[in-house]
Structure 1
């Protein structure tokens, strides 16, 4: 009689699981648009409309040119969108000051200080304006959006000035548009010409102390000009 052989237990069936697919995030059109505009702002500010390249914007945003042209019909349309975004950002930041809650002299002082700080923090904004002026404002003139937004900017200065005249704080006879231009010029120049001016007059315009001193100088200059003696 042959010995009974032991049978080994049946090995469990090996389950071959498929590797997990990497998680894919849904396409965020709003974020993609914001990223494109952010990179395009720097590209246009540094190189102007003529020198900027959509290929470079696509590379820096890891987007395809096709995707950029999905959002914008042309490089010119992208450039105009960058300009509109820049002015919208400034206007919205100014609205947050809530100047209507302040007395006219304090409102004007706050507005001038804000304008100075905004230009200092946003050198790309200054460069965009410089580049567009070099083009005689050709693209700027095509934007009804910017013109509409600027109405609130003009009305804000006019309102502050008119209130100051009515309360006897400001002297009369000043054109609010001229006042706005003077504020813009005094805040714009320390950014647009800081390198050449610093070299010509051996004056460091970028140190915190120099910026703070210039800020107070600009505010005081405007207030002394407008305030009734």
Structure 2
């Protein structure tokens, strides 16, 4: 005899519980990394119990994987929404630079997750096919922007898309990852809007200055 499908309300509750666990895990992992995060704390934050958490995700490590993949996917979704293919080359590159700085400034938890995963030498990220799949299209988009810039006489012809993207993300990531120490050293609030705007302008000038034909 066929089993009756579960009521929609039950599916909705399960999805809501799963989302609460993921939100709680993101906060706990961002604060304490994988090694320091406690399953008890994630369960308490989410209003679920440990048994339910393990039923959904199997282990703390598997939960970490899901949180990490979702963090990358969220960033790439916003990056795709820029639709830089529809922008002139200089505007497209400017949009990418600005986005990458502003995204990590809005989402310091993303920086924290990446820093923690690097402590594990990307052992968990290496198991993820979905994250790698997210970045192949990105490189194609960047390659297209660079090509159009060369054709318009605005970009140098020898710019490597991987190196260019590494520079774009590092200009923002380093700034946010070290914001507190640098603010203390230089006696300025690097998290203020004025400081972010100045940094944004500088990052754009650095990237476009490199890309300018000789």
Q: TM-score, normalised by structure 2?
A: 0.92
Task: Name whichever of 71-80 and 200-209 sits farther off.
Answer: 200-209
Is 1:159 the counterpart of 2:144 in the alignment? yes
Shift of 1:110: 0.8
- 3-state SS of 2:133 partner: helix
Which of the two has higher C-alpha Rg? Answer: 1
Please give the root-mean-square deviation of Cα atoms over the aligned residues, in Å: 1.3
Deviations 1:24-77 (A, max 9, x none): x74522222221111101111111111111111110111111111111111100
Is 1:106 the counterpart of 2:91 in the alignment? yes
- 1:182 alignment partner, one of 133, 142, 167: 167
- 2:199 alignment partner, one of 195, 199, 214: 214
Is 1:75 the counterpart of 2:71 in the alignment? no
- 2:180 alignment partner, one of 195, 209, 212: 195
- 3-state SS of 1:40 partner: helix
What is the rounded CA distance, in whole Å, between the counterparts of 1:68 and 1:44 in structure 2?
15
- Which segments of 5 or more consecutive residues in structure 1 lack a partner in the other structure? 1-24
What is the rounded CA distance, in whole Å, between the counterparts of 1:156 and 1:65 in structure 2?
42
Aligned residues between the structures = 205
**Partner residue, 2:155:** 170
Consecutive aligned runs of 4 or more in structure 1 exceeding 6 Å deviation = none
- Which segments of 5 or more consecutive residues in structure 2 lack a partner in the other structure? 1-8
What is the rounded CA distance, in whole Å, between the counterparts of 1:153 and 1:74 in structure 2?
31
What is the rounded CA distance, in whole Å, between the counterparts of 2:183 and 2:35 in structure 1?
29
- 2:134 alignment partner, one of 127, 143, 149: 149
What is the rounded CA distance, in whole Å, between the counterparts of 1:95 and 1:108 in structure 2?
13
C-alpha contact (below 8 Å) 2:23/2:46 kept by paired residues: no
- 3-state SS of 2:48 partner: coil
**Partner residue, 1:55:** 40
C-alpha contact (below 8 Å) 2:25/2:67 kept by paired residues: yes
- 3-state SS of 1:28 partner: helix
Deviations 1:129-162 (A, max 9, x none): 0111111111111111111111122222122112
**Partner residue, 1:84:** 69
**Partner residue, 2:23:** 38
What is the rounded CA distance, in whole Å, between the counterparts of 2:112 and 2:92 in structure 1?
28
